[in-house]
Amino acid sequence: MSTQNHWIKAVRCSDVPPREGRSVQIGKREIAIFNLGDRFVAIDNRCPHKGGPLAEGIVAGPEVVCPLHAWKVNLETGMIARPTTENSCVAAYAVRVVEGVIQLKMPLYSPTEITNTPACLEGNSPAAWSFGAGTMGEITP
Ligand code: FES
């Protein structure tokens, strides 16, 4: 299984307003990208509680409040901040901005290397990737 990371174009900065999140589909994974005002952060869009869409949550400091049952997820680490007794997490991705486009650093897996292990428990490993034509989703050096 490959563990090499790649920078992948995800979305234009201008498409993610300050203090809000937007979801993007990259391969078979849905990612929530947030604009914290001075930087962008990215985590998996699926709340580990019952799958709530984290990109639609309310940004509160460095955390997002899930819109379904108000769990809080730390946007830097992907760890659950509330409830404090919860030990689960979502994958958090390194982010960079190149020429106005947000890029995410992710390992690249072939479609035959699908795993059901939670991404945060195996080093932020996406299940599988398949890229179509177009600018976003493109792998960059
Ligand atoms: S689905 Fe997110 S808190 Fe329940």
- Cα–Cα distance measured from residue 73 to residue 94, given in angstroms and rounded to the nearest whole number: 16
Query: Which ligand 1 atom is at minimum distance from the Cα of 66?
Result: 2
Which residue in the block uniquely carries the two structure tokens 């990215």? Answer: 42
pTM above 0.85, yes or no: no
Q: Residue 8: CB within 6 Å of ligand 1?
A: no
Q: Residue 69: CB within 6 Å of ligand 1?
A: yes
75 secondary structure, DSSP code: T
Query: Which ligand 1 atom is at minimum distance from the Cα of 71?
Result: 3
- Cα–Cα distance measured from residue 105 to residue 25, given in angstroms and rounded to the nearest whole number: 14
pLDDT at 117: 43
Q: Low-confidence residues of the chain, pLDDT below 50?
A: 1, 110-134
The verdict on domain 5-140 having CATH code 2.102.10.10 is yes
pLDDT at 108: 65
